[in-house]
Amino acid sequence: MKQAFKLLTMLAFLLLPCVCGAEGSAPAEGWLNDFVLSMKNDATNGVVEAQLTLGVKYSEGQGVAQDYAEARQWLEMAAGQKNAQAFFCLGEIYEEGHGVSQDYKQAMGYYQNAAFNGSAEAMFRFGDMLAESRGVTQDKTKTVDWFGRVCRVGHRISCGRYRKLTEANC
């Protein structure tokens, strides 16, 4: 019962900007502040879903003031528990240079960890960065391999890229 309540409250937090139209604004007072404190308590106590939720919310500035340093803190905690989505979000932060110096090699490392933990989108990003020589030396064989892997799990864009690369090599 307690797990169901936590999941419902996390869902409410995720949908907060849609409900309140408060995207990018910091919470003023009341239940939202209490909820954020509760989420931080859960996250500090190792609840990976809370860590991920806080990381995403601080990164996007949804329901809280945007703060990339705070986002990275929570995402790194979730990544420490092998959470694929946390690795992926950290990869995006470094690929796009949000609150950090843009670092393609760092992004590649996070995307690779996310891919090895089951993230199809990270597999695609990893293959895309291989194809475009961002963070690594271009390697067509590895690029084809990564796009093939993610195509096999149903990622349609990767299937198109995989077909183009394999047809070009025929």
Residue 22: the pLDDT is 40
Q: How far apart are CA 19 and CA 23, in angstroms?
A: 10
Phi then psi for residue 63, to 5 deg, are: 85, -10
The string of pLDDT tens digits covering residues 9-55 is: 555 555 444 333 344 444 445 677 788 888 999 999 999 999 999 99
Percent of the residues in the chain that have a pLDDT greater than 70, as a whole number: 81
| Length of the chain counted residue by residue | 170
The string of pLDDT tens digits covering residues 147-158 is: 888 899 888 888
* Listed range (28-32, 65-69, 71-75, 108-112) with the worst mean pLDDT: 28-32
- What is the location of CATH 1.25.40.10 in the chain? 101-170
Residue 110 pLDDT exceeds 80: yes
| CATH architecture observed for domain 101-170 | Alpha Horseshoe (1.25)
Contacts 24+ apart (CB under 8 A), 3-12: 6/42, 6/47, 6/49, 6/50, 7/49, 9/35, 9/38, 10/39, 10/49, 10/50, 10/53
The string of pLDDT tens digits covering residues 95-104 is: 999 999 999 9
Q: How far apart are CA 133 and CA 108, in angstroms?
A: 11
Q: How far apart are CA 1 and CA 98, in angstroms?
A: 38
Residue 6 pLDDT exceeds 60: no
